[in-house]
């Protein structure tokens, strides 16, 4: 659960602007050939959500309410819609009539834009909003009094119960105490799409996520190579020993055990013989 002091948002579904109109919203100076500038995005979001950069243990927090809404409600709902090829946009209303619009990025033409706040409005793709939400959740974690469950993206790779076991194994491996919160933040950051942008993400966890979710071997290797490159560009190197710890406690290991059990059962079954 999230802290009871989170803000309650007014969120409504709104007509989605067409891709041509989105293109016009971005001037050439706002377009980036090298991808999203996440640090700049955080600064832009803070114009809408002031407590995003000023963590406080008192008062109701807009950023925590935003994180809960995006990660646990809008995210799963909008991903289902995206898989159907449809478009959808949600408006989240902040103080002083400031608004964040979150849309499914499934336009026919890829729009590579650095989001900017204009007329009290900020337009974000679901992935951009989710990165901000995970970042906000990680910043708030030391202030939380109630347990926080894994994000939907992370819970597809790890169980909630695996986090303290990972922390214990890492403490033994690294020779110093590894806190539950440290592992929690690393897991939810690394399992997020484009998680390499996030401060708490780690390359080896992201590779576990790839290995757990990508079923096709060729596609899995392509995703591995891309993930390694993107993380290494940001100084986040792959650690095989830590990968082994995270993989051991992931659903990838569970799936491998289940496959082994199934193979063993099948091998012990009497072979059927056709009648002569």
Residue 158 above 50 pLDDT? yes
Query: pLDDT tens, 121-149?
Result: 998 989 999 999 999 999 888 755 556 78
Q: Residue 81 is part of which domain span?
A: 10-143
Q: What's residue 8's pLDDT? A: 47
Angle at 76 between CA 71 and CA 80, to 5 degrees: 155
Residue 12 above 70 pLDDT? no
Q: What's residue 269's pLDDT? A: 59
Pairing of strands 10-14, 121-125: unpaired
What percentage of the chain reaches a pLDDT higher than 90?
50
User: CB burial class (10 A; 0-12, 13-18, 19+) of residue 102?
Assistant: buried
Query: pLDDT tens, 202-253?
Result: 999 999 999 999 989 999 999 999 999 999 999 999 999 999 999 999 999 7
User: 158 in helix, strand or coil?
Assistant: strand
Residue 101 sits in the same domain as residue 125: yes
Residue 61 above 90 pLDDT? no
Residue at a domain's end among 123, 143, 163:
143
Residue 125 sits in the same domain as residue 230: no
Query: pLDDT tens, 13-30?
Result: 665 554 455 555 544 444
Residue 132 sits in the same domain as residue 161: no
DSSP letter (8 states) at residue 100 = E
Distance CA 4, CA 64 (A): 10
Residue at a domain's end among 108, 143, 178:
143
Residue 132 sits in the same domain as residue 213: no
Question: How many domains is the chain built from?
Answer: 2
Residue 96 sits in the same domain as residue 120: yes
On whether the pTM is more than 0.85, the answer is: no
Residue 171 is inside which H or E element, if any? helix 162-174
Distance CA 276, CA 235 (A): 67
Q: What's residue 207's pLDDT? A: 97
Is 275 a member of any domain? no
Q: What's residue 264's pLDDT? A: 47
Which residue in the block uniquely carries the two structure tokens 């401060």?
A: 199
Distance CA 32, CA 40 (A): 12
pLDDT-derived band at 64 (thresholds 50, 70, 90) equals confident
Least confident of 158-167, 214-223, 264-273: 264-273
Residue 72 sits in the same domain as residue 161: no
CA distances from 42 to 57, 135, 226 (A): 20, 9, 24
- Could you tell me which residues come within 8 angstroms of residue 56 by beta carbon, excluding any fewer than 6 positions away? none
Residue at a domain's end among 112, 143, 174:
143
């Amino acid at each position: 659960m999230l802290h009871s002091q989170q803000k309650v948002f007014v969120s409504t579904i709104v007509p989605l602007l067409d891709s041509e109109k989105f293109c016009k919203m971005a001037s050439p100076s706002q377009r980036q050939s090298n991808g999203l500038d996440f640090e700049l995005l955080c600064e832009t979001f803070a114009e809408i959500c002031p407590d995003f950069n000023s963590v406080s243990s008192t008062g109701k927090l807009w950023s925590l309410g935003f994180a809960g809404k995006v990660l646990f409600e809008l995210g799963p709902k909008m991903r289902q819609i995206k898989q159907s090829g449809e478009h959808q946009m949600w408006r989240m209303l902040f103080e002083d009539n400031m608004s964040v619009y979150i849309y499914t990025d499934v336009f026919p033409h890829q729009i590579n834009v650095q989001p900017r706040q204009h007329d009290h409005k900020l337009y974000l793709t679901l992935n951009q909003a989710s990165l901000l939400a995970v970042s906000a959740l990680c910043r708030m974690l030391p202030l939380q009094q109630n347990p926080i469950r894994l994000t939907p993206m992370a819970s597809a790779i790890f169980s909630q119960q695996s986090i303290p076991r990972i922390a214990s194994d890492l403490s033994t491996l690294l020779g110093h105490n590894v806190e539950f919160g440290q592992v929690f933040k690393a897991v939810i950051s690394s399992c997020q799409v484009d998680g390499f942008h996030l401060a708490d993400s780690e390359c080896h966890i992201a590779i576990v996520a790839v290995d757990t979710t990508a079923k096709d071997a060729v596609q899995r290797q392509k995703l591995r190579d891309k993930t390694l490159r993107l993380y290494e560009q940001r100084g986040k190197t792959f650690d095989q020993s830590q990968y082994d710890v995270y993989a051991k406690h992931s659903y990838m290991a569970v799936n491998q055990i289940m496959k082994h059990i199934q193979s063993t059962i099948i091998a012990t079954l009497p072979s059927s013989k056709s009648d002569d």
